[in-house]
Structure 1
């Protein structure tokens, strides 16, 4: 696995430990908007999807007006209303450093919106590592392969030269749909059993294991 020219990372639950903040922000937003407060596990299942797609899965029969209200309220809760810490996972920064030192191209394909991704790249001081990034607010939501196809085209990389790293079935199914290899990580949302359904090259339990595989 040391020969990939391009490593594409999901963000939430893969590089950043932000799952708990996403869950609490979504539950607070639902309460404010007047929707039934979803269970923690139900919110986790939509992480990685674009927000509008995720809301339709999370809240049956949600109206377009309620979606608009949730988009505004969730953004407020995540950015200002909620103070749950969102650090990078242990060893994530050092992994990015090591990959860049061996001249590996790096990218992000995330369910975040552009404003949200730019914000966390800045606060985590990781924006300089990535050659390009794609957000679900700009393209089709995972597991549609559009984000990955776009990254490959921009960087002039063949599918067999790239690998996708992610913590959800949405990430690995997207990679499968794009015809590229993947690695699942179990420290985000989905467990080994779920991730293995999408035939990843490996499933790991820590960033340090990723380091061994990729560097």
Structure 2
């Protein structure tokens, strides 16, 4: 698996341990809008979708509140929620190794552009990536728009790219785009769910991923 030219990463739940903060911010947004907060496992399942699609999924009967809910979510995530969002262990070592191996790196994320820029600045990782696509400038996962756009920008054939993600949305998006994938289990979805989308491998940690993608 060391021959791919382009490695595309999801962000939340794949490189950054932000699942708990996303869930608690979704719950906080619901309470602020006088709605019952979704259970942790229910809210967790929408991570990876664009924010409008996430709200449609969680609150299908409350269309009139979707704009308010999205505003409250952003407020909670950026300012009110104090849940920590560290990079997963060995994320920097993995990115450094891939860059040294002269791989092209990209991000395809359910975050908005401003959110991705903020966490890149906070984690000092933006310089690793040659391109990125965010939810507010693409069709939501699992539509292949993000991957197709990245492939076109970087002039890479689908067979030379690999998508790494922690959700069914990531792996299904890769299937639709004709791109191979690897599932990681330290984020949202279990190995049983990820396996349904025929990834080339499923790993439990970023060091396991490094063993697949980098020479010993």
Q: TM-score range by the shorter chain?
A: over 0.9
Q: 1:199 and 2:201 equivalent?
A: no
Aligned to 1:13: 13
Aligned to 1:167: 166
- Work out the CA distance in 2 between the residues paired with 1:86 and 1:192: 23
Aligned to 2:106: 107
- Where has structure 1 moved over 2 Å in runs of 4 or more? none
Aligned to 2:136: 137
The one-character-per-residue Cα deviations of 1:177-196 (angstroms, maximum 9, x if unpaired) are 00000000000000010000
Question: How many residue pairs end up in the alignment?
Answer: 214
Aligned to 2:22: 22
Q: 1:41 and 2:41 equivalent?
A: yes
- Work out the CA distance in 2 between the residues paired with 1:75 and 1:60: 19
Aligned to 1:212: 211
The one-character-per-residue Cα deviations of 1:168-208 (angstroms, maximum 9, x if unpaired) are 00000000000000000000000010000000000000100
| Structure 2: 5+ residue stretches without partners | none
The one-character-per-residue Cα deviations of 1:133-169 (angstroms, maximum 9, x if unpaired) are 0001111000000000000000000000000000000
For residue 137 of structure 1, give the secondary structure of its aligned residue in structure 2.
Answer: helix
The one-character-per-residue Cα deviations of 1:52-91 (angstroms, maximum 9, x if unpaired) are 001111112122x311101111001001100000000000
- Work out the CA distance in 2 between the residues paired with 1:145 and 1:8: 13
TM-score by length of 1: 0.99
Superposed, 1:54-203 pairs within 5 Å as 54-63=54-63, 65-203=64-202
1:17: how far off? 0.1
The one-character-per-residue Cα deviations of 1:92-136 (angstroms, maximum 9, x if unpaired) are 011000000011000000000111011001101000000000001
For residue 162 of structure 2, give the secondary structure of its aligned residue in structure 1.
Answer: strand
| Structure 1: 5+ residue stretches without partners | none
- Work out the CA distance in 2 between the residues paired with 1:158 and 1:61: 41
1:35: how far off? 1.6
1:16: how far off? 0.0
For residue 143 of structure 2, give the secondary structure of its aligned residue in structure 1.
Answer: coil
- Work out the CA distance in 1 between the residues paired with 2:138 and 2:183: 23
1:22: how far off? 0.3
